[in-house]
Amino acid sequence: MDAERVLGIGLPPHLREFLAFTNGFEDPDGQWWPAWSCGVIAADNLRVWRSEMLPEDLLAFGDDGASTCFCVQADIDKLEIVRWFWIGQNVETTLLDLPTFWRRWYADPT
C-alpha cells in the first residue's frame, strides 16, 4: 500500500483491510470524513508528526468533524483504537477492533 511506503511503517492489518475495501468514506449528513483516504492518511500524519502535534506512536485515520481524530497505534501488533483530542493533546481509549468501533461510533458518537 502506497501510504505505508510514504509513512515508512506498516498499517495494522485491520486498518489495511478496511482501507483496501473503502479507501475512506465521508459522512453524507455532516460532510466530514470519519475515515480518510490512504493519501490523506499519509499526508496528514507526516505533517502532524513533523510538527509534533500528534505522537508518532499514533496513526490518525479519520475524524469526528470537530476537534477529535480517530487513531490506531502505529505498532501493527496493537489493535487499540483511540480518539486524539487536538485541543487538550490527550488520548481517550475507545475500542479494540475497527468493526466494533464503527458500530458503536454510529450508534452514539459522543
Give the contacts of 75 (CB within 8 A, at least 6 positions apart).
57
Q: Which residues pair with 35 in a beta bridge?
A: 25
**pTM for the whole structure:** 0.87
Helices (H), the chain: 2-7, 13-22, 38-50, 98-107
Look up the CATH number of domain 2-107. Answer: 3.40.1580.10
Using 50, 70 and 90 to split pLDDT, how confident is the model at 97?
confident
**pLDDT digit string, tens, across residues 17-61:** 999 999 998 887 777 889 999 999 999 999 999 999 999 999 999
